[in-house]
Structure 1
Amino acid sequence: MNRRRAPHPLLRPFVREVWSCAAEPAGEAQARIERLLPSGLMHLVLRLDDAPVRLLRSPDDPLGEPLAPAVLGGARTAPYLKRLHARSASVGATLLPGAAQWLLGLDADAIAGRHVPLEALLGAEAQRLRERLLEAPDTDARLARFEAWLLARRPPAPGQAGALTRLLRQSPSVGAAVRASGLGRRRFERAFLQATGLSPKAWQRVRRFQRAVGALAATDAPAPAELAAALGYSDQSHLIREFRAMAGLTPGRFRALAPEEPNHLPLEPSRRG
């Protein structure tokens, strides 16, 4: 049984969603490679069994880099590949800008584009959390314990990260957001980088890409030219170039794949003959 939902109201300035999933039944487990698309957000994941997961340099990478059972994934602007042999029992959260600062006392740019073991950031607390989650009887209980841990680390005030990203969403340009913030440009850009792990321009680019992903995943997806115009791309070719850069494939190919989870694309290893 899997659970994915909005977090406790007190966590919503920092956390977009929390989730918990059960392990894949042994008879259904199948090794596979997935391409993970950039979202512009950070992810905290704790796997609760020993099913191996490896990060790959290419689909033909025979070894890859083992992923720790509990990791904090930084924001990124490009996709990455992972190989898994079965879906693990796991718990996680999608973190909003500023969350790494309150959760770990860490600026987001310190982990941008990387997966960092939670143990390296929290020491023995990471193992204690994982043990508490392992003791939970089901997915709902695991999610409740995980959310309680997040709540215990919640700061008294959300800080300025949410305000900075709202200004950028609502403004026609980075310059306009800077002026509305009352900060100097260098100070705005530095604060934004520390909160999100990305520069303002890179964050805008990834978030627009994610709007394209959402639109293309819908059953009534618009035509590429219409989608490009609606999202502010200069033309259809611009949309295709940006989509290929961030997804590793064209919008048309993405539609044909129709992935169950839009940011997790199934990928077969290339055949060499």
Structure 2
Amino acid sequence: MIESRGHINPGTPGTSLRRVPIGLDDLVRWVWTARWDLPPGRTVRQRVLQYPAFNVVAGPRAATLHGPRTGVDVRELAGRSWVVGVLLRPGATPLFTTTAPAALRGGEEPVTGAPLAELTAAVEGDGDPAAVVRAWLEPWADAVTDAGRLVNRACALAESRSDVVRADQLADLVGVAPRTLERLVRGHIGLTPLWLIECRRLQHAAAVLRTDPDTGLAGLAAELGYADQAHFTRRYRAVLGETPGATRRAARAAG
């Protein structure tokens, strides 16, 4: 099972989320399947600080390509249903759309050719949705360009290297000029290299405060490379819609 820092309120009763890799590493980070079965009249708000990449989301009737957001995405679930999602690597974006990535930031557009019937049979039967997705996307495995692979690497480094707190540091690591990295990242996901870094920091902060609400905010801010606790709190509230203290209180109440 893959762990994710993006899901702000995992483990909500009546819902489940499963993520699995499918081996097409230049194209796909993982396939995720969400299911929910809620009593009549009950709704659940799922909050996600998305990874800086596009998702293909397929349900029983349609598939859509969703651009990344720079704030928390809130979805209300009700009744009984499911979706299968594909978290794409940045290098895969041009294979799914000719729309400029910046124009799809926080938006969506239809995806044609998705295997909806096969996914429905897999989810509602005893099949494997991830295997269906792999069979669908495998013909594109060699279509990612060198520029796409460079952006894939930049995103992976921004997420994994806690010592990287500036865009120029990230550019040095991938061996290009900062302006070149900016152009390539914007051209694949419609976001800036700096957001790659900030997304990692805020996802990490939310996960720490959720799992260990007694964590000191000043120490966490310093660990993440913010100038001070006030700066950390401002950015956290601007992106997640609540203060770090509110996240801690919610975690304590749920625990």
Q: Which protein has greater RCO, CA pairs closer than 8 Å, 6+ apart? A: 1
Alpha-carbon displacement from aligned partner over 1:151-178 (angstroms, at most 9, x marks no partner): 2332255632223335556555322433
Q: Does 1:240 align with 2:233?
A: yes
Find 2:117's aligned residue among 131, 136, 141: 131
Partner of 1:59: none
Q: CA–CA distance in 2 between the matches of 1:233 and 1:114? A: 30
Q: 1:2 and 1:209, CA in 2 relative to 1: closer, same or farther beyond 3 A?
A: closer
Mean Cα deviation higher: 191-200 or 135-144:
135-144
- AA aligned to 1:7 is P
Mean Cα deviation higher: 226-235 or 135-144:
135-144
Q: What pairs up with 1:32-43 in 2 under 5 angstroms?
A: 32-43=44-55
Find 2:110's aligned residue among 110, 117, 141: 117
Q: Does 1:4 align with 2:18?
A: yes
Find 2:141's aligned residue among 146, 154, 163: 154
Q: CA–CA distance in 2 between the matches of 1:110 and 1:221? A: 40
Q: CA–CA distance in 2 between the matches of 1:36 and 1:87? A: 20
Give the gaps of 5 or more residues in structure 2: 1-14
SS in structure 2 of the partner of residue 76 of structure 1:
coil
Q: CA–CA distance in 1 between the matches of 2:236 and 2:229? A: 11
Find 2:26's aligned residue among 13, 17, 20: 13
Q: Could you say what the CA RMSD is over the residues aligned between the two structures, in angstroms?
A: 3.0
Q: Does 1:30 align with 2:42?
A: yes
Partner of 1:55: none
Q: What pairs up with 1:39-58 in 2 under 5 angstroms?
A: 39-48=51-60
TM-score under structure 2 length normalisation: 0.75
Q: CA–CA distance in 1 between the matches of 2:80 and 2:243? A: 27
Give the gaps of 5 or more residues in structure 1: 50-68, 260-273
**Identity across matched positions, percent:** 29
TM-score under structure 1 length normalisation: 0.71
- AA aligned to 2:20 is A
How many residues of Structure 1 are paired with residues of Structure 2 in the alignment? 231
- AA aligned to 1:15 is V
